[in-house]
Chain A
Amino acid sequence: MIEVLYFAWVRERIGLPRERIESQAKTVAELVEELRSREERYAAAFADTTALRVALDQELASFDAPLAGVREVAFFPPMTGG
């Protein structure tokens, strides 16, 4: 099981802040493919991954990063702090 978190407009588009999912994905990109194929709201949220960032266990990562041993995956738009 993997904990998947969504923030900002990704959270709004999908309609929930987090969920636990069963996944066979070996990389972030494979997880994105699984999520996209679930429902239209996921497909909409993940339509353009260049507009998204991903963090694995609270560290920024790339979409080709492996998921082995990862407990928490977060998807969000580019950050706007400061």
Chain B
Amino acid sequence: MGVVVQSAAFDLAAEIAEFSGRVLGAGAVVTFTGVVRPEGGLTGMEIEHYPGMTERAIARIVDEAVRRWSLEDALVIHRYGPLKPGEAIMMVATAARHRGDAFAAAEFLMDYLKSRAPFWKKESRDGGATWVAAKDEDEAALKRW
């Protein structure tokens, strides 16, 4: 299992290739990438986080996914700092013998990373910068698990 919190960009293809290479016994690898949406005149995004708590919170979420589903491996990479529209913010990868477990665990990881990992997004536009408000549906999404 891996948790990486970094400001630098990551190489998605290389990460997926390495992850897949580690889990040759798995029949299913699911990956998800979150990207800065280039819309609404967005010129950039700044992601703040809580060093220390961030890593612990994500590790706990990954542990919970491993407890619930039969996973061979899981990886979360999440960036912080300044990002440009179109850049990858984060990725999750899950590996399992069958795709059901891999898909469900990836969705679970995404739902929990949204509202239980201490990151805060600030969006910049020509008029200034504003903090992204948490959405009620993100909190509601946790109830299905």
Residues of A within 8 A of B (CB): 5, 7-9, 11, 55, 58-60, 74, 76-82
Contact = CB atoms under 8 A, between A and B. Distances in A.
B118 A76 contact: yes
Contacts of A11: 48
B134 A76 contact: no
Contacts, number: 69
Interface string B113-139: 111111111100000000111100001
Given A7-B50, A55-B53, A58-B53, A79 B131 contact: no
Contacts of A9: 131
A77 B48 contact: no
A77 B122 CA distance: 12
Judged by DSSP, the binding face of B is mixed
B110 A79 contact: no
Nearest to A53: B118
A7 B134 CA distance: 14
Contacts of A55: 50, 53, 118
A3 B41 CA distance: 39
Contacts of A76: 50, 118, 120
B22 interface: no
B114 A82 contact: yes
